[in-house]
Structure 1
C-alpha cells in the first residue's frame, strides 16, 4: 500500500510539473489566436472571443471601445454636436463644468442623451458596430466612427472565436519569414552533418583505438565543457573578422565540424557498449579502421547518432546569440533573430502576430520530438550501458 501511494505521489508530482511547463506554451497559443485588443486585456482571458449585441435584425458583431465603471452620462456637445461620455462629477444641474480661456469655471449647456449608472460591479461598455467588409491588410477590425452606443456590459454576448488567419498574417507582416526559414534550415542541415561526422570520428578514436595518453586527452576535452561561450566569444569573433566571415553564415556552421565535448562523450559511451569481437573479426578479414568505423560501428549506433543530430537541430533552430553576433544583413537572419527584429521594428509590439510567428517557430521542434522520442530515449538510455 505504501509503495502504491508513493507511485501515486510521484505521478501527481510529474503531472503538476508538466502542467506548470505547459502553461507558457498554452498562453502563447492562446495569444496567437486573439485579436490585438484582447492580448493585453484585464482580466486576461484564455479563449479569444467576439462580442455580439442583440438588435432588431438579429445578432450584430460589435467591438468594445471603452469600459465605464463609474456613474457617467452620454451627452451631445453644443458646438460640434459630437457625442461623448462624461463622468457625473463634471455635470451640474444638467450642464457641463468647464473652464474659459482665463481659467474661470463656467457651465456649458449640453444635451443629455442617456444616464449611465455604471459601477465597478456592473460596468457599461462603449461599443461600435464592426464593419466586417473593411478589414485591412493587418487584419484589424474597423468600426464606424459615429455609429457607437453605450450599453450594459452584461447585455453583450460573448462567443468563442479563434483567429486562425493570424498565422498567415504574421508571416506576411514579417516580410522575410520564408527567407528566415530557408537560412535556418540551411544552418540546421550543415551543423547536423558537421556535428555528427566530427563527433563520431573523435568518439571512435577515444573508445575503440588504444593510444598513449588517450584518457588524459579525453578528460581535457571534457574540461572544455566548463568554459562558457562568453569567455571565448571575443577571440572567436576576432578570428572570424580576420577571415572576413562576419556578415555570412560561415561562423554559424563551420565550427560544428570541430567535435563538441558533450557529443563526443555521448557517442564514446555508446561505442564502448559494442563488443570488440566485431572489430577484431573485421580486422582478421582485412578491414582497416576507417572501414570498420563506416560499415560496422556506425550502423550499430544509429540511435545515438540520431540523438546527437536531434540535439544539434534544436540548438541551431533556437540559436539566437550566434546570429545576433555574426549576421548583419536582414536577409541572412534566422528565425530566432527574425522574431526579435520583428518585435523591435515597430513602435508597439503586435503581440498576436508575434505569438503566432513564435508558435510557427516552436511547432517543428515539438512535432520532431514526438516523432523521434522513441529513438531519442533509446539513444540516451543505451549510452551508459557497457557490454
Structure 2
C-alpha cells in the first residue's frame, strides 16, 4: 500500500516541485524532484500579488465555504434528528420524498435555479452560492444514520426530565454524533471549495470569483508559464490539506462510529 500511495502522490510532488522552479527547468528530463534553480519567491509573489491577485479570490472562497459549511451542518443535523427521533405523521414518507430529490441530477435543475435566483436578486452574489449549497439531502441522510444509532432510552430519559426536542438535540444527541458532524463538515467544506459549476453559472463580477474560477482565468492568461500555474495550484489546494489534517482524527472516529453499533 505504501508503494501504491507513492505512485498516487507523485503528481502532487511534481506539482510542488515545479512551483519552486524557473520555467526553463519545469520539463527537464529526467525529472529534477529537488529544484536546481529556486524561483519560489518570484512565482508565488506573481500569483498572490501580480496582475491577477489571488488573495481576493481566496477570501471569497473561504467566506463562501465556511458559511456554507456552518449553515449546512446546522440544517442537515436538525433535519436528521427530526427524521430519526421525532415521531410525526407521514414522517417516513416525507423522508423518502426528500431522499428521492437526490436522484435528480443537479444539471437538470440549473435553468430553473438560474431563473429563480435572478428573480429574487441572488444572481451574481455570494449569498446565492451560500444558499444554493447549504441544503444537502446527502448530509441529512448521512447524519440521520448516525442519529438512529443513539439509543432511544437517552431520549426518553430526557423527556421524563422535562427536556424538549431542541434541548435534547443540542445537549444530548449532538455531542454523541460529534465525529459524524465533523466528518460531514470536512466533506462539505471540500465540496464547496472545489465547486466550479455553480460559481461559473451564478457569478459574473470578477471581484466575486472563487478560487476555482480564478484558477481557470489564471491558466488562460499564463498558459505557457507552467511554474506559475503550479504555484497557483499549490495555493488553491493548501487550505484543503490544512482542513483535512486538522479533522483527520474526527473523520476516522466518524467512520469507526458508523461501523460499530450497539
- Using structure 1 for the length normalisation, give the TM-score: 0.64
Structure with more relative contact order (C-alpha pairs < 8 Å, separation 6 or more): 2
Counterpart Cα distance in 2 of 1:233 and 1:315? 18
- The Cα of 1:244 is off from its aligned counterpart by 2.3
The answer to whether the Cα contact below 8 Å between 1:38 and 1:48 also exists between their aligned partners in 2 is: no
- The Cα of 1:172 is off from its aligned counterpart by 2.0
- The Cα of 1:289 is off from its aligned counterpart by 0.9
- 1:295 equivalenced with 2:176 (yes/no): no
State the partner residue of 1:38: 25
The answer to whether the Cα contact below 8 Å between 1:35 and 1:48 also exists between their aligned partners in 2 is: no
- The Cα of 1:227 is off from its aligned counterpart by 1.9
- CA deviations on 1:2-59 (whole Å, 9 max, x unpaired) are xxxxxxxxxxxx2343223212211211211111122244x3523365xxxxxxxxxx
Structure with more of its chain in strand, by fraction:
1
Question: Gaps spanning 5+ residues in structure 1: where?
Answer: 1-13, 50-159
- The Cα of 1:262 is off from its aligned counterpart by 1.4
Counterpart Cα distance in 1 of 2:115 and 2:260? 42
Counterpart Cα distance in 1 of 2:3 and 2:51? 36
Q: Which moved more, 1:274-283 or 1:222-231?
A: 222-231
State the partner residue of 1:182: 59
Structure with more of its chain in helix, by fraction:
2
Counterpart Cα distance in 1 of 2:210 and 2:24? 29
Structure (1 or 2) with the larger CA radius of gyration: 1
Indicate the SS of the match to 1:383.
helix
Q: 2:106 aligns with which of 229, 235, 244?
A: 229
* CA 246–351 in structure 1, closer or farther in 2 if over 3 Å, else same: same
- Using structure 2 for the length normalisation, give the TM-score: 0.92
Q: 1:366 aligns with which of 241, 244, 249?
A: 241
State the partner residue of 1:105: none
The answer to whether the Cα contact below 8 Å between 2:57 and 2:209 also exists between their aligned partners in 1 is: yes
Counterpart Cα distance in 1 of 2:105 and 2:51? 33
Residue pairs, 1:146-185, within 5 angstroms: 160-165=36-41, 166-173=43-50, 175-185=52-62
State the partner residue of 2:78: 201
State the partner residue of 1:334: 210
Counterpart Cα distance in 1 of 2:34 and 2:4? 26
Q: 1:376 aligns with which of 251, 258, 261?
A: 251
* CA 216–385 in structure 1, closer or farther in 2 if over 3 Å, else same: farther
- 1:220 equivalenced with 2:112 (yes/no): no
The answer to whether the Cα contact below 8 Å between 1:273 and 1:385 also exists between their aligned partners in 2 is: no
- 1:240 equivalenced with 2:117 (yes/no): yes
Counterpart Cα distance in 2 of 1:212 and 1:22? 51
* CA 310–25 in structure 1, closer or farther in 2 if over 3 Å, else same: same
Q: 2:224 aligns with which of 345, 349, 357?
A: 349
Could you list the structure 1 runs, at least 4 aligned residues long, displaced by more than 6 angstroms after superposition. Answer: none
Counterpart Cα distance in 2 of 1:342 and 1:382? 42
